[in-house]
Amino acid sequence: MEINSQTELYCLIGNPVNKSLSPTIHNYLFNKEEENAVYMAFNIEKEDLKSVVNSFKAINVKGFNVTIPYKIDIINFVDELSYESELIGAVNTVKIDNGKLIGYNTDGLGFLKAFKEKSISLKGKNVLILGAGGAAQSISLTVVNEGVKSLTILNRTISKSRELIEKIKNKFPKIETNYGGLNEKYVDLKKIDVLINCTSVGMYPEVDKMPIEINGFNKNIIVYDIIYKPLETKLIKSAKEKGMITIGGLDMLIYQALLSDEIWLDRKLEIEKMKNEIKKRILSENIEVI
C-alpha cells in the first residue's frame, strides 16, 4: 500500500507493545479491504496518556486500541462508553468521531465470537472461570451477560476471586455464584459445562503447567483456554485427549482486533473469513504471537 497525504492513521497504545500482533492483523485487513489506512503501535508512559490522546485528536487519528496497563485509565479521557465497555469497566478500542472519543470493548465479544463458532450457546450453562485478572474480568461479565446459569471463579489469590464475584453480583444479582482458590476442592466438577482458563498458567515458557487437573470433569464439557502462546496449551492437549470440545486463545485475539476494525470503519466485515486467513498466515509463516 502506498502511504500518501490521504492515509488515515490508527494506533495501539500500551506498555509494552513492541511484540504486539495488532499491527500485523490491522494492516492485513486494511490491505485486503483496500483502505488507505495504516496501523502503528506506540509504547507510552502513564504520565503521557493525556497528551497522547490529545495529540491523536489534533492530528486526526481515526481510532486507536488501548492495551495493558491503560484499559481502565483511558476511561477518564473518553466522552462516551459503549454498553460492553461500561459492563466490563474497561476500554480496548476508541473511535474518534469529529473530535469526540467513544470507548468500546471488544475483548469479551472476541471471546464470544470464537465460542459461538462452535455453534454452542452459553445460556443456562454452569461456567467455571480460572483467574481473576483483567481477562477474567472481561470474560466473566460477558458470559454472565449471555445468561449463564451459574458462575464459579477460582483464583490463586482468593480475595481477588471474591472481589470479582462481588462486582458481578452487583450488576447481575440473580446469578448463582461461587468462588475459591485455584483448586478443584472449591467446586463440584461434575456440575460444570464450560471451563475457561483466564490465568497465565501454561503460558510460554511454563508450557508444562496446567491451572487445574481435568480428570474429574464430565467428558462433554467445553474447555476454552484463552492463552495463545503456545497455540495449544497443556490444558487444551489434555482436554483433546479426553475427547472434550476445545477452543484456544488465538481466535479470540484475532477476533477482538477485527471487531475494532468494524467499529472504526463503521461497516460489517467478513470477519470469520478474515480471521481464518490471518490465522493461516500466522501459522504458515510462523509469526511470533506474544
Please report the DSSP string for 175-206 in residue order.
SEEEEESSSGGGS-GGG-SEEEE-S-TT-TT-
Residues 119-138, interacting with ligand NAP (CB under 6 A): 131-136
Determine the Cα–Cα distance for residues 263 and 223; give it in Å rounded to an integer: 29
Most distant pair of Cα atoms in the chain: their distance = 61
Among 106, 142, 155, 233, binds ligand NAP (CB under 6 A): 155
In angstroms, give the least distance from the CB of 156 to ligand NAP. 3
Q: Which of residues 258-287 bind ligand NAP (CB under 6 A)?
A: none
- 219-238 binders of ligand NAP (CB under 6 A): 226-228
Which of 74-82, 118-126, 163-171, 245-253 is the region at the interface with ligand NAP (rule: CB under 6 A)? 245-253
Q: Which residues are catalytic?
A: 71
Question: What's the CA gap between 151 and 116, in Å, rounded?
Answer: 18
Contact 96, 57 (CB under 8 A): yes
Is 156 labelled a binding residue? yes
| Closest separation in Å from C-beta 238 to ligand NAP | 17
162 binds ligand NAP, rule: CB under 6 A: no
Residue whose grid cell is 479521557: 77
Question: Known binder of ligand: residue 90?
Answer: no
Q: How far is the CB of 201 from ligand NAP (least distance, A)?
A: 5
Question: Least Å distance between CB 181 and ligand NAP?
Answer: 9
Query: Which residue has the closest beta carbon to ligand NAP?
Result: 133
Q: Is omega for the bond preceding 23 within 30 degrees of 0, making it cis?
A: no
Which residues in the 180-209 window bind ligand NAP by CB under 6 A? 182, 198-201, 203
Q: Is 30 helix (H, G, I), strand (E, B) or coil?
A: helix
> Annotation-wise, does 216 bind a ligand?
no
- Residue 31 bridge partners (DSSP): none
Smaller CB distance to ligand NAP: residue 102 or 135? 135
Which of 32, 149, 160, 191 forms a contact with ligand NAP (CB under 6 A)? 160
| Phi, psi for 78 (deg, rounded to 5) | -100, 155
- Cell for 161? 476471586
Burial of 267 (0-12, 13-18, 19+ CB in 10 A): exposed
Residues 6+ apart with CB under 8 A from 57: 96, 99, 101
Residues 53-92 that bind ligand NAP (CB under 6 A): none
41 appears as a binding residue in the annotation: no
- Where do runs of H (alpha helix) occur along the chain? 22-32, 49-58, 83-88, 107-116, 134-145, 158-171, 234-241, 250-265, 271-284
Instruction: Mark the segment that binds ligand NAP (CB under 6 A) among 29-37, 90-98, 149-157, 277-285.
Output: 149-157
User: Looking at beta carbons only, is 145 or 199 nearer to ligand NAP?
Assistant: 199
Give the whole-angstrom CA distance, residue 241 versus residue 89.
37
Q: Is 21 annotated as a binding residue?
A: yes
Positions touching ligand NAP (CB under 6 A) are: 131-136, 155-157, 160, 182, 198-201, 203, 226-228, 249, 252-253, 256
Which residues fall in the annotated binding site for shikimate?
20-22, 67, 92, 107, 228, 256
Binding-site residues, please?
20-22, 67, 92, 107, 131-135, 155-160, 226, 228, 249, 256
